[in-house]
Structure 1
Amino acid sequence: MADAAALRSRNAAFWTGAAAGWIRHADRQDEIGRPLGAPAMDRLAARPAERILDVGCGCGGTTAELAAAVGETGAAVGVDITEAMVTAARQRFPTDRYPGIRFRAADIDTLDVVPGAPFDAAFSRMTLMLLADPVAGCTTIRRSLRPGGRLAATVFRDGSVNPWMFAPMLGAAPYLGSLPPLPVGDEPGPFSFADPARLARVLTVAGFTAVTITPCDVTMNAPDDADAVAEWLIEVGPAGAAYRAAPLTEQASARAGAVRLLDRFREPGAGYRLPAGLWLITAVAARTDKPSAVARPPAIHHRQPREDDNR
């Protein structure tokens, strides 16, 4: 496996190439992708006047939701590794409409603390699994929180409970050029935290206590527009940059290939139902800079998700 510096370089290059797709589909991602972060948003329960850090804010939709919750007397600061997405976030959610909202382009792995710290709470939708050095990144998050500050986040579980994720890339790949290398082992990627024990270790070493990791199943509902849904999922996935660089004829073939593999998730006349299996993570920032050697073991719950998790 590559070292942390090489992984950070690879991450930066990947997200720079992926940014155009995320920007183009920002509204769709906010609407259809909201269930991926909703369990953590609900658990965080941001309150008026709080200061909230949004890690991996992308094009800003989750930061805007947090800003609305904390109101004019609070603050919501979104951080993302990609300058282009942060620029898009500032344009989509200007401060004259969202008082207290701020966006910053930075690699959370390499910061000591996030400017604007200390924060009362931190939120992250599907980003912790993508960190090149998750211990370093989570340590930055913990240092950026006030002592006792809370974290709520989501990450994917494993591929078996997220079966649709493979379809866009596998369907499109035969018609596109070379794609980025797939992650290996614990390298950053959608399933790097499939093992909750690894996730618990990372958070504990980073200085969090009261760690809980709970399975949560949600469903993303996409409209019954096969071509648009295929293009969205291709463009925000690992094949996005190659898709945008391909001739129009190959793009059409790539979409058709993705449509075929996504068909089993389609309900004719109703749309696509994309099941997602998540870990819902909560934790509390330790009151010292060193994790306690006698900290209470993390709580890893293996219950079957309740129906009310799916919001």
Structure 2
Amino acid sequence: MTGTAAARARGLEFWTQAAPGWIRHADHQDEFGRPLGAAAMTWLRPAPGERVLDVGCGVGGTTAELAARVAPGGEAVGIDLAQPMVDAARTRFATVANLRFEVCDIEMVDAVPGAPFDAVFSRMALMLPADPVAGCAGILRCLRPGGRLAATVFRDSAANPWLAAALLGAAAHVGPLPALPVGDDPGPFAFADAARPLRILATAGFEQISVQARDVTLPAPEDPAAVAESLIEVGPAGAAYRAASADERARARRGAARLLERFREPGTGYRFPAGIWLITATRPISSAAGDI
């Protein structure tokens, strides 16, 4: 197995194991994560009648928002690597007529069923493919000529200190964790250097590429145990946390809550600062996608 293939297999395993946490906290994550995708949603301006692809849809909240924006006459399609995520998304939004979900690896597919799309949206997923050029080339193939891409990704760890706090607070109290990404490895900070997504998108064939810094605040209720648990469960410690004993889970929640305390405003709730990149680009009108 090549290095890229092995990384792809690790990614699929990780997100399949992470799925129970995302499914359990789906409603909370829809609200908590909305500021992370708002800039991309605003730039993209999905309009009634358009067909939009959501790459890395998770349990479907962003795809449902896109579906509402393109109604009437439009369609939103969400894709994700993890079958449990897609199954949960289908169940959550079974009554939405202009919405569907597919299990799909954007790195490997020639085109998502239903392509080409008018636009592609992605919240906190573009930095996760094992081969990001292949992933972005897959997105390009799914767009009509002139179609637009809007995505958000995390900047560096210093701009998102609560992510490490939740992990470090829980790690000492649960079992072994998966190897954490370093440098350019697929992971939350793989696009910390803005030059990297610029280079990747250009290599994939996009034009009018822009990477802009945005600072947002993620709100959460003033419930230390619940907030700590939700952040642990959707992160790298999630699988180990779910496999731990009740006493170990309680200690992990307390450990994470202690490190997250500096983000709590008494009487108001938690306010987590997040530094992100807004990445936008278009497929050239004359693009012959698929030659990457």
Residue by residue over 1:6-63, the C-alpha shift from the partner in whole angstroms, topping out at 9 and shown as x without a partner, is: 1100000100110000000000000111001011011111000000000000000000
Write the mapping of 1:141-160 to structure 2, written as runs, cut at 5 A.
Answer: 141-160=139-158
Counterparts of 1:189 and 1:178 in 2: how far apart (Å)? 18
Name the SS of the counterpart of 1:188 in structure 2. Answer: coil
Among all aligned residue pairs of Structure 1 and Structure 2, give the percentage whose two residues are the same amino acid.
63
**Alpha-carbon distance, 1:113 to partner:** 1.0
Counterparts of 1:291 and 1:66 in 2: how far apart (Å)? 26
| C-alpha RMSD of matched pairs (Å) | 1.3
Q: Tell me the equivalent position of 2:236.
A: 238
Q: Tell me the equivalent position of 1:31.
A: 31
**Alpha-carbon distance, 1:290 to partner:** 6.0
Counterparts of 1:185 and 1:280 in 2: how far apart (Å)? 20
User: Which amino acid in 2 is paired with 1:8?
Assistant: R
Q: Tell me the equivalent position of 1:190.
A: 188
Kept in 2: contact 1:154–1:279 (CA 8 A): yes
Kept in 2: contact 1:205–1:291 (CA 8 A): no
Write the mapping of 1:295-306 to structure 2, written as runs, cut at 5 A.
Answer: none
Q: Tell me the equivalent position of 2:162.
A: 164
Name the SS of the counterpart of 2:107 in structure 1. Answer: helix
- How many residue pairs match? The answer is 289
Counterparts of 2:260 and 2:182 in 1: how far apart (Å)? 25
Kept in 1: contact 2:140–2:289 (CA 8 A): no
Counterparts of 1:187 and 1:177 in 2: how far apart (Å)? 23
**Alpha-carbon distance, 1:72 to partner:** 3.3
Name the SS of the counterpart of 1:261 in structure 2. Answer: helix
Kept in 2: contact 1:37–1:154 (CA 8 A): yes
Q: Tell me the equivalent position of 1:89.
A: 89
Counterparts of 1:290 and 1:247 in 2: how far apart (Å)? 51
- The runs of 4+ residues in structure 1 deviating greater than 3 Å are none
Structure 2 length normalisation: TM-score?
0.97
Write the mapping of 1:24-173 to structure 2, written as runs, cut at 5 A.
Answer: 24-94=24-94, 97-173=95-171
Kept in 1: contact 2:141–2:289 (CA 8 A): no
Q: Tell me the equivalent position of 2:288.
A: 289
Kept in 1: contact 2:170–2:253 (CA 8 A): yes
Counterparts of 1:24 and 1:259 in 2: how far apart (Å)? 19
Kept in 2: contact 1:224–1:266 (CA 8 A): yes
Counterparts of 1:103 and 1:231 in 2: how far apart (Å)? 28
Name the SS of the counterpart of 1:108 in structure 2. Answer: coil
Structure 1 length normalisation: TM-score?
0.91
User: Which amino acid in 1 is paired with 2:246?
Assistant: L
User: Which amino acid in 2 is paired with 1:227?
Assistant: A
Cα 1:279–1:291 change in 2 (3 A) is farther
Kept in 2: contact 1:208–1:283 (CA 8 A): yes
Q: Tell me the equivalent position of 1:13.
A: 13
Kept in 2: contact 1:172–1:239 (CA 8 A): yes
Kept in 2: contact 1:46–1:70 (CA 8 A): yes
Counterparts of 1:83 and 1:204 in 2: how far apart (Å)? 31
Counterparts of 1:245 and 1:99 in 2: how far apart (Å)? 37
Counterparts of 1:9 and 1:91 in 2: how far apart (Å)? 26
**Alpha-carbon distance, 1:289 to partner:** 2.2
Kept in 1: contact 2:120–2:149 (CA 8 A): yes
**Alpha-carbon distance, 1:291 to partner:** 10
Counterparts of 1:183 and 1:103 in 2: how far apart (Å)? 28
Kept in 2: contact 1:57–1:79 (CA 8 A): yes
Counterparts of 2:242 and 2:7 in 1: how far apart (Å)? 24
2:201 aligns with one of 187, 203, 208 = 203
Counterparts of 1:29 and 1:254 in 2: how far apart (Å)? 20
